[in-house]
A and B are shown apart, each in its own frame.
Chain A
Amino acid sequence: MIEFKGLTKSFGKRTILKNLDLKIEKGKIVFILGMSGTGKSVLLKNIVGLLKPDSGEIHVNNFAVHQLSETEMMEVRKFCGMVFQQPALFDFLTVFENVAYGLRKHFNLEEEQIRKQVKESLELVALGDIGHKWPHELSYGMKKRVSLARTVALKPKILLFDEPTTGLDPISTNRVNELILNLSKNLGTTSIVVSHDMESALSVADHIVVLDGGGLLTQGTPEEMRTSPVPLVREFLLEVSE
C-alpha cells in the first residue's frame, strides 16, 4: 500500500502539492487525473525519491520513503518500476541488454536466469525474438514496449506510469491501455497512472483520483466518476467520445 500524509512540495514560491492525504490500495490500477501543473508527476516522483517533500509523509509498503537516504532508496526502487513518457532506451545497447540492464545492476543473477527473465519480459509486452536489434531499428511503439519490458523485468510490485499515452494516436492509446491492464493483472502489481485522459481512465482504472490546486479534489470508481457532479470532472468527461 502507498500512503501520503500531509504531503507538501514547493518549487521556489510556487506550492505544487498542498497538504495532500491519499491512500492507494494494493493490487489496484489507480489513475491520477488533473490539469497540467497540478502536481501529478511531482507526486509520482516523490514515491521513488526523485523528489523529496518539504513536509509530510510517504509510506510505500513498509518503507517511510520521506526519511530514507539515497542509498536506502535503492531498495524501494527495486520494487517500484517507473515508466517514463519517452522510451528513454540506451541507444548504445541492444534490446536484450536494455532489458537486462536493471537485472545486472540490482541483482546478482546467473546469465541463464537473466536470459529467462528478459525473454519473459519481452513476451509480456508482446514482443518476440528481437533481443539482437538496436533501438534505432525499432518503431516508436516498439521502443515504448521495450522500455516497458525493461521495467517489468525487475518484477516490480508497484508500476508507475507518467502520461503513458500522451501524443499517441487513438489506436496506439488503446494498445498501451491494454498493455497496462494485462501487465498489472499478470504481475499482480499496484499500478499508478498519471494521465490527462479520462477515456483511458474509465476503461482501465479500478479507482480514479482527481487532483486540483495541489490537493485531492475527488476520487472514486469509474462508475462513480461517470456520474460525478464535480465541475472539473464534468469538463474531463466532455472529452470522452462515447
Chain B
Amino acid sequence: MGKEAPIIELRSVSLEFGELSIFNNLSLTINQGDSLVLVGPSGSGKSSLLKLMTGLLEPTGGEVLYRGKSLSILSKTDHLQFLSEVGMLFQQNALFDSMTVFQNLSFVLNEIKPTANEEEKSQEILKLLQAVGLDHVLDNFPGELSGGMQKRLGIARALVVRPSLVFYDDPTAGLDPITSRKIVNMILELQKKWDGTLVTVTNDMMRAFQLAGQCLFCFKEDFVLTGNEQQTRQHHDPRVQQFIHGQVQGPLEAL
C-alpha cells in the first residue's frame, strides 16, 4: 500500500438515512501524525462521520480512501492490514466484563496477530498496561475498576495492536474534569511516542482544544475546519463562536 497517500481521505462523501441527509459532498484529508477533533451539537453527524472513517458505515455517495484505496472494496489482505492499523475506543468502553484486565488485551492481540510469539505478546501487553497505569490490577475484572480506570483500559485495548490511526469516541464522557485532563494528557503522550494519528469526537471544548491540531465543526449538513485552539477561538463563523461560548441565543438551536 502506498505510504505516501493520506492515511484517510474522504472524497465528496454523502450520507443519507432514507430521506434524511446527514451530510453532502464532504471532502477531507487526514495525514499521518494529524490530530483531528470533531465537535458540534448533538445530532450533527459526528459519530456517523467516525463510523464512515472506520468502515462501519458506507457512504451513499463519494468514497472513503484508506492509504489511497477505497475502503468499500479493500481486498481481504488490505482489510486485515486496515484492521491491524486501526484502534477504536468506544464511548461506553465496550470492555469484555467476563475477562480480566490482562485478558481484555490479550484477546484482541490473539485475534489480530494469532501467530505472534506468546512471550512477546505478554511483554507488549504488560508494557502498555504500565503506560496507562494499570499494571497493578492485571487480574481484576472491569467491574472492579473505577470509571477512569475502565476508560484507561479501553484506551490500552484500542492501542494494543500499535495502531497508526486511533479513533476516540468521547474518551472523557462522564469523568470528572481532573481525571479527564489526565486521560487526554496520556493520549497525547502515547501519540507522541508512537507518531500516531488521532481522530476524536468530544462534547467538551476544553478537551477539544487540548487535543486538536485541527478542529472540525459539524453542523447539520455543513462542516467547518477551524484549525487549532487559537485559530478556532478567533474564527469568524458565528456558529463556532456560539458553540465554544455555549451561548443559548444564536444561529444554532439548543436541545
Contacts and interface: CB of A to CB of B under 8 A. Distances in A.
Contacts of A168: 42, 203
A235 B178 contact: yes
A171 B41 contact: yes
Kindly state the interface size class of chain A when it binds its partner: 20 to 34
B246 A170 contact: yes
Contacts of B254: 141, 171-172, 174-175
A139 interface: yes
A170 to B, nearest CB: 3
A236 B181 CA distance: 11
Contacts of A241: 205-206, 244-245
A171 B206 contact: no
A37 B177 contact: no
Interface residues of B, number: 31
A10 interface: no
B60 to A, nearest CB: 23
A129 interface: no
A223 to B, nearest CB: 21
A34 interface: yes
A173 B176 contact: no
Interface in A132-183: 139-142, 144-145, 163, 166-176, 178
A217 interface: no
Contacts of A169: 39-42, 203, 243, 246
Interface string B221-255: 00000000000000000000011111110101011
Given A36-B146, A238-B181, 7 more contacts: A139-B43, A166-B174, A169-B246, A170-B244, A196-B177, A236-B178, A241-B206
Interface centre among B148, B177, B178, B247 (most CB of A within 10 A): B177
